Amino acid sequence: MLVLLFSQDSNFTKHTTLPDFPACFQLSVLPWAPCIFLWLTSPFYIFYLKRNNRGYIMMSILNRIKTVLGLILWIVCWTDLFSSFHEMSQNQLKPPVYFVTPLVLGMTMLLATFLIQFERLKGVQSSGVLFIFWTISVLCAIVPFRSKIMNASQAEVSVFTMFYIYFGLILLQLILSCFNEKPPLFSSVVTDPNVCPETTAGFLSKMTFWWFTSMAIKGYKSPLENKDLWSLNKHDSSELVVPNLLNEWEVEKSKSVKEQAAFRKAGPGAEPNHVSVSPEEEEVLLSKRKEARQPSFLRALLRAFGPYFLIGSAFKLLQDLITFVNPQLMLIDFTKQPQAPSWWGYSLAFLMFSASLLQTLILHQHFQYCFVTGMRLRSGIIGAIYRKSLVITNEAKRSSTVGEVVNLMSVDAQRFMDLTTFLNMLWSAPLQIVLALFFLWQNLGPSVLAGVAVMVLLIPFNAFIAMKTRSYQVEQMKYKDERIKLMNEILNGIKVLKLYAWETSFKQKILQIRQKELNVLRKTAYLSALSTMAWTSAPFLVALTTFAVFVTVDVNNVLDAEKAFVSLSLFNILRFPLNMLPQVISSIVQASVSLKRIQGFLSHDELDPESVDRRNNTSGNSPHSSHTSLVCALLGEMEKLEGQISIQGSVAYVPQQAWIQNATLRDNILFGRPYAEQKYRCVLEACALTPDLEVLPGGDQTEIGEKGINLSGGQRQRVSLARALYSEADVYLLDDPLSAVDAHVAKHIFDNVIGPEGALKGKTRILVTHGISFLPQVHNILVLVEGRVSEMGSYQDLLKQNGAFADCFGFVTSAFTKRGSRQTLLLTSCNLHVVFPVKNHLVSHSVEQKEASWTLMASYVKLKVYWEYAKAVGPLLSLFICVLYGCQSATSIGANVWLSEWTNDALLNRTQDRVHMRVGVYAALGISQGVLVMFSSFTLALGKIQAARKLHQTLLDNKFHTPQSFFDTTPIGRIINRFSKDIYVIDEVLPSTVLMFLGTFFASLSTMIVIIFSTPIFALVIVPLMLLYWWVQRFYVATSRQLKRLESVSRSPIYSHFSETVTGTSVIRAYGRNTAFVLLSDMKVDENQKSYYPGIVSNRWLGVRIEFIGNCIVLFAALFAVIGKEKLSPGLVGLSVSYALQVTMSLNWMVRMTSDLESNIVAVERVKEYSETATEAPWIVKDKQPPPDWPPKGNVEFIDYSVRYREGLDLVLRNISLEIKGGEKIGIVGRTGAGKSSMTLCLFRLLEAADGEIVIDEVKISEIGLHDLRSKLTIIPQEPVLFSGTLRMNLDPFEKYSDEEVWKVLELSHLKKFVSNQPSKLELECSEGGENLSVGQRQLVCLARALLRKTRILVLDEATAAVDLETDDLIQSTIRTQFEDCTVFTIAHRLNTIMDYTRVLVLDKGKIAEFDTPTNLLAQKGIFYGMAKDAGLA
């Protein structure tokens, strides 16, 4: 009917200067459209509201007015209905439409009124459905409104008035629906001081992201701080997201368990089926079963986040359909008809504008949904990994290092997040391709197939590239993991590397891995250059083949402007899905690798919470354990093979290596328990911590650095003990807590805490110890030999038995428990990282300020940073790349201008004679563009590799030359961040950003040139539009960059807290603090998402505004084409409008890329900053090199020597003067913080003198190179550090010595038996931190290193702390025999080791208190005498 109507009335509508619609159309289609919309959407909307109740809104004035207006509208509509009935009763015949329309309208108004109230009850503050309904109603009423005015003379007054009332009311409803209701009662909006305005924003504000404007303005005026950020929406918080994901994962796991059970039942022993199955079928069934056995993390993710994501997909579908409206509306047809009325042109222009606008709004809603899904995914995955890491077994923990697990959180979770944005392209791209081809077929007929053939041919080419890229990526991830892991170890053991002068060897190792990484990166870059070329040329090649085939197949085929440019627009639409598909596929490939890694980690075995029976009271024993393993077993940290363990009551645990959190000292002791002043003071007193608090700068509020860096070993151990004491548990497991403290402190702690009269009397306590002096005071002794209990009983009993205990007072662990309730319990020390005690002179407050200052750095990234990057790429190369991009745009414009000339041939009827020339030139221009693209990508790839190499190299060089104090005050996480995240950005993200930026910049530029070339008047509009563009862009870039900085500052704590947790899992579990730590992690993730979320929204906010500018360009290009219709050829109009349609995308991406460039270039700035930190003295000073045999004697002289840790801190050693003859053995003793360790650090120049000199054999050590000095001294450090690698590498990284020499020192250090029993001998692999050797063995490896270097001067730093007596004797006797003629400095804990030394130096508060032979000092009855008395030696 409608088609008929239009064919009859086309004169009435189109071919006239005053167009109008027929009455029937105005009475039926127009009023029904909004009604159909509302009735279709209502059921879904009501269902949605029922599911998502947000609370109840009080009846407001606004609400009352809306409801009343709705009812009046219903009355107005039905008045119309009754007047029609009335007229019918007057025998005036009326068509049925006069009854149906008012009836339908009236019912719809009632539905709308019902919705107004229903929304209020469900807490909806602003309704999108009703807003759209009122908008459509008003739009559809405008046409009849206009025609009623035009025909005012003929219309009846009553109908006329009623319609005006109706029109006025719906307009009023539309205006009212723009306003918001008050928030629901008791909602977070009311309670939260900093709630996100999105929750209260109206529909329009949400669609245009207007609610974000306040932050954009705030960020532009002044740098944003944490307090300016809005709270995270409830639905996005870890509190809801993580449990949701974990529940789905549990469901998934339980399903797979059931399937496995079913499979076992239906296994070979099951009854035979009566249906015979062929072997092939059986194989298929079996393979299916194998697949089914794995629980799938992907399914869990889909169930948890899929439904929300689907809403975004619905928006995407709408947007895809609207995309194809514009090419159908192009003005070419209009310009071809000289007599077409100009209102037709204007309405086409405005239709194009409206379609573009609608497309913009819908597209950004789609993105918003996708990004929020991505954000929730990340929260969920991080939460799941964190929770898992608290419960995995030690074996599983060893299979992945801390670095690798942190990578799961940072890199792999990030990949999922990136994927969600594009995931919809998987179905949307094929849909767009099909639609585009459909319209192209209509336009050009079968010739399109030629173009399709080109596309199909390109697919395998790209598939090949994608496959190769994937394999390279896996390879590169492997090298990256390897490099970060090694770097992590180097930074953890940097002090040892400096002491041994081993930096160069390890630097080479890093550079070797880096070289492999760069080789893979280079291959990837070349591949991507090829694929860039293929994708840039694809649309052109398709257009070329299509047009060429079109004009050559049939003489009658004429390529006119409409065909050419409508097709070009469609080809441009094709370009995006074709570009995206391979990217999406490679993203999916990357995500699938990540999925495997995450799923693997989440499927690790968990510790069995039931392995230790915490109820009944029998006593069991754990086989296969040494003493530390025994404690582990009691904690349920080891795999139970047989037997049983039971514990009654709560447990407190002190590991062998103290685990300290990055928090205040008080928080470390309270460990989540409420603060009780009296109890707290007693605990500090008992653990001898009161004197330390006076030394620490902030007392017990001193912030302790990562891994307890600013406490000495003894202080860390005492804090760990204080934590156990404060927890008031029933059972205490103490794994050698007294080893790291001085003898007098050990005695104090034993008497006040552990011993029969200590604070723990009446509690069960199990102590692993190497200190014989305490054995007589314990109730029960358990002697372990090679993992078995050899004897048990009291001290006296064991001595009488004459067993292993009495024989070799050697392998001893004493466990004492209250008699009567003997329970055994077990636990490991799993501090993966070794830390050096740096005395109390470091505070990490500066650290917090440092990271904060990053945030507030000058708003504009300085041009200098761009210049730094350009220099790293190579200045000439940078310029050349820009020139290539310019040329490439020029050829592209050339090709299209040529096409517009070609289409004008059609008007002049001289098409045939020039076809070959036209096709040839067009092809030449297009192909040269492709070649230029390839060239520019190749040069960019070369440049990026060069920059990546240079920047990493300078960072690495600097870090190896950085003084030790830098590492003591900077959290390792932050340095690692430079090597992982920032180098990754420089390697991969930054180059592609530069590529996109150059591409979009030149594309936008060429659009402006083309439009001005075809309609010069456009230049007038360009200035205000560009100003608006620049203005929006400045607001956006300022805010977005600060949000990114806030986001990256809040990202580090997630990972550092995580790696801290992983190292302390056994402690956290022993104290039952899992939940608290999980909450803490969630809080840190939410804190990070709080700055990430506005960051996403800022992109949407920008997108809507920039695309609006782009849509204005489309509008003006079309309007000017209509105005200048007489002068323009259809070819030029086509060229101008088709370029304008492309511009939106380019403009949008250009701002996005400007911002990305500014955000990513920060990585260069951060790397630069750490590449320029102050360095220590040179490793080798050429003209001051000491002779090769220096030092010949080993004389050491301190001349009025003073030293401080850092500028501005107090002196640690004050005016020390002493002379030591070669071969003397010097013991150094003193209370904690007296400056014992500092003295040895001065010899190695880890601390540089503040005053005075140290002279070794007539050479002033301050004048020679550090390596010359350090390679001539040897230290056996306090905590033995091993690096992952072979044992041989750990002893001799430079491979200076022969295998014989190495075996010789292994024999001297009593390791030969152990090593020769290993299958791989010297090539024995040490795991990260030497985890697979016991602490004693590690200490012996350090001894072996010292023996191998055999220098004149040896320093022993508390080396015997963690070693049992037998090992201690071994070390001492070896040192006495092997270093007989060497000068030896020993920092002693156990005074018995130095009683036979030449002299003893007693330090007190950094000064020499006493210095003489041990015998004389004892006679003086001074400080030394007091200490000897405490240790029972005087």
Q: What is the pLDDT of residue 1166?
A: 86
Q: What percent of the chain clears pLDDT 90, i.e. is strictly above it?
A: 8
| Cβ atoms of residues 782 and 725 within 8 Å | no
pLDDT for res 810: 39
The model's confidence at residue 858, banded by pLDDT at 50, 70 and 90, is very low
Highest mean pLDDT among 305-314, 558-567, 852-861 belongs to 305-314
Mean pLDDT for the stretch of residues 128-148: 88
φ and ψ of 1379, to 5 deg = -110, 35
Q: pLDDT above 70 covers what percent of the chain? A: 88
DSSP 1407: E
More confident site: 1018 or 192: 1018
Which pLDDT value is given to residue 3? 40
Q: What is the pLDDT of residue 1364?
A: 63
Angle at 1355 between CA 1353 and CA 1360, to 5 degrees: 145
What the block records as the tokens of 528 is: 């991507």
Predicted local distance difference test score (pLDDT) of residue 619:
34
Average pLDDT (1296-1318) is 85
| Average predicted confidence (pLDDT) for the chain | 80
pLDDT at res. 621: 35
- Reported as a single tens digit per residue, the pLDDT across 685-704 is 888 888 877 777 777 787 77
The amino acid sitting at 645 is I
> Residue 848: pLDDT band by 50, 70, 90 thresholds?
very low
**pLDDT over 50 at 1240, yes or no:** yes
pLDDT of 656-672, one tens digit each? Answer: 888 888 888 888 888 88
pLDDT number for residue 910 = 59
Are the C-beta atoms of 1237 and 1275 separated by less than 8 Å? no
Which residues lie closer than 8 Å to 288 by C-beta, 6 or more apart? none
pLDDT given for residue 34 in this prediction: 92
Give yes or no for residue 765 having a pLDDT over 50: yes
| For range 394-406, the mean pLDDT | 78
* Integer Cα distance of 1361 and 1279 in angstroms: 8
Half-sphere exposure of 140 (CA within 13 A, CB side): 22
pLDDT recorded at residue 369: 92
**What is the maximal distance between C-alpha atoms in the chain?**
137
Q: Report whether pLDDT(444) > 80.
A: yes
First-to-last C-alpha distance (Å) of the chain: 118
> When comparing pLDDT for 662 and 18, which is higher?
662
E strand or H helix that includes residue 402: helix 402-407
Confidence of residue 1023 (pLDDT cuts 50, 70, 90): confident
Most confident of 262-266, 759-763, 1301-1305: 1301-1305
Contact 1260, 1195 (CB under 8 A): no
174-204 CB burial, b ≥16 within 10 A, e <16: bebbeebbebbeebebeeeeebbebbbbbbb
Question: Residue 1013's pLDDT is what?
Answer: 82
Q: Which residues contact 236 (CB under 8 A, 6 or more apart)?
A: 372, 375, 376, 379, 1089, 1093
For residue 246, the model assigns a pLDDT of 92
On the question of pLDDT at 843 being above 70, the answer is no
Confidence of residue 2 (pLDDT cuts 50, 70, 90): very low
User: Phi/psi of residue 1285, each to 5°?
Assistant: 150, -170
Closest listed residue to residue 578, CA positions, set 752, 465, 458, 668 = 458
What is the structure's pLDDT at 574?
77
Bond before 1191 cis per omega within 30 degrees: yes
DSSP for 716-775, written as a single string: HHHHHHHHHHHTT-SEEEEESTTTTS-HHHHHHHIIIIISTTSTTTTSEEEEE---GGGG
pLDDT at residue 707 tops 50:
yes
Q: Looking at residue 265, what is its pLDDT?
A: 65
| Contact predicate 188/195, CB 8 Å | yes
Residue 626 has pLDDT above 60, yes or no: no
Q: How confident is the model at residue 243, as a pLDDT?
A: 93
**H-helix or E-strand spanning residue 1387:** strand 1383-1387
Task: Give the Cα separation of 95 and 84 in Å (integer).
Answer: 10
Q: Contact 1162/861 with Cβ under 8 angstroms?
A: yes
pLDDT band at 845 (very low <50, low <70, confident <90, very high): very low
Per-residue pLDDT at 907: 65
**1208 pLDDT higher than 80:** no
270 pLDDT band, cuts 50/70/90, is very low
pLDDT > 50? residue 830:
no
Spatial separation of the C-alpha atoms in residues 766 and 972, rounded to whole Å: 34
Segment 646-650 shows an average pLDDT of 78
User: Mean pLDDT across the stretch 827-832?
Assistant: 26
- What average pLDDT does range 36-44 have in this prediction? 92
As a whole number, mean pLDDT of residues 112-137 equals 88
| pLDDT at residue 39 tops 90 | yes
Predicted local distance difference test score (pLDDT) of residue 189: 60
Per-residue pLDDT of 450-498, as tens digits, reads 888 887 788 788 778 878 888 888 898 889 888 988 888 888 888 888 8
Burial 405-415 (b: 16+ CB within 10 A, else e): bbbbbbbbbeb
Tokens for 637, please give them: 């940290």
> CA of 822: how far to CAs of 232, 616, 782, in Å?
52, 12, 11
pLDDT for residue 908: 67
Q: Which three-class secondary structure state does DSSP give residue 1251?
A: strand
Across the range 1071-1097, mean pLDDT stands at 90
pLDDT in tens, 1315-1355: 888 887 788 888 777 777 877 788 888 888 888 888 888 88
Can you give the pLDDT at residue 1079?
Answer: 92
Which of these ranges, 79-93, 578-592, 1062-1076, 1355-1369, has the smallest mean pLDDT? 1355-1369
DSSP-derived letter for residue 1393 is: G
